Amino acid sequence: MVVGGLWLAVPFAAGQQRSAASNHPDTFGLGRAATAGEIEALDIDVRPDGTGLPAGQGTAADGARTWARACGGCHGQEGEGGTAAPVVGRDPSSRPPTVGNYWPYATTLYDYINRAMPRNAPGTLAADEVYGLVAWILAKNEIIATEAIMDAETLPKVAMPARSRFVRDDRRGGPEVR
């Protein structure tokens, strides 16, 4: 998997003892069972392996129309930045960072646009519109071909240029400044 080798090697909580306060009953009987429907309604996150991506698709050409209408006013019509951050650029040294030189996972684009963009009307884009915007941004950054179709199958397979730069936090306290 995309993330498994790197992240699961860390000895986190799996298998550790999980004791509650000694006087706690097995259950407090609080809360109610969540229905499948309400979980589905809220569970909008998209993981690096594509889990959570919905049906739908889009190309850069589809995305260009949505970009002009909903995004370009803040991020620049070519994604060069404006009142909001640029999204296009491959030079690793350019600041502020962009999707092309800094974002490690393509799936994050779908997740974030779908949940939080556009800023004045978040959560209003249809799945096809989000896929189109993701395709437009990735194509603008020359990460995918202009005609590539982005959907639940293709998006998780996109290899991001900055992916290999990301490392775990190695600060541990103690006298050494890191």
Partner 1 sequence: MTDERSQHRDGRVTGRQRLTRRALLAGAAGAMGAAVVAPVSGQQSVSTTRRPGRGPNEVDQRSAFVSPRRDPSPTSSRTPLQDLRGTITPADLHFERHHGGVPDIDPARYELLVHGMVDRPTVFSLADLQQFPATSRICFLECSGNLRRGTPETLPQMVCGLTSQTEWTGVMLSTVLREVGANPDATWFLAEGQDAAVMTRSIPMEKAFDDAMIVYAQNGDALMPGNGYPARLLLPGWEGNSSVKWLRRIELADQPFMTREETSKYTDPLGDGSTVRQFSFVMDARSIITDPAFPRVIKPGWHEIRGLAWSGRGRITGVDVSADGGTTWQVATLQGPVLPKAHVRFRHLWQWGGEPAEIMSRATDETGYVQPTWDALRAARGPGTRYHQNPITSWTVGDDGRVLFGAERLQA
User: At closest approach, how far in Å is the CB of 61 from partner 1?
Assistant: 25
Distance, in Å, from the CA atom of 90 to the CA atom of 161, rounded to the nearest integer, reads: 8
Smallest distance from partner 1 to CB 102, Å:
6
Which one, 55 or 177, has the nearer CB to partner 1? 177
Contact status, residue 148 vs residue 139, Cβ threshold 8 Å: yes
CB of 9 to partner 1, least distance (A): 11
Instruction: Tell me the two tokens of residue 167.
Output: 């490392």
Peptide bond into 122 cis (omega under 30): no
Q: How far apart are the first and last CA of the chain?
A: 30
To partner 1, the closest distance from the beta carbon of 85 in angstroms equals 9
Residue with Cβ nearer partner 1 (51 or 146): 51
Nearest C-alpha neighbor of 163 from the set 137, 143, 133: 143
The amino acid at residue 72 is: G
List contacts with partner 1 (CB under 8 A).
1, 3-4, 7-8, 10, 12-16, 18, 20-21, 24, 27-28, 30-34, 38-39, 42-49, 92-93, 97, 99, 102-105, 107-108, 111-112, 115-116, 119, 122-123, 162, 165-175, 177-178
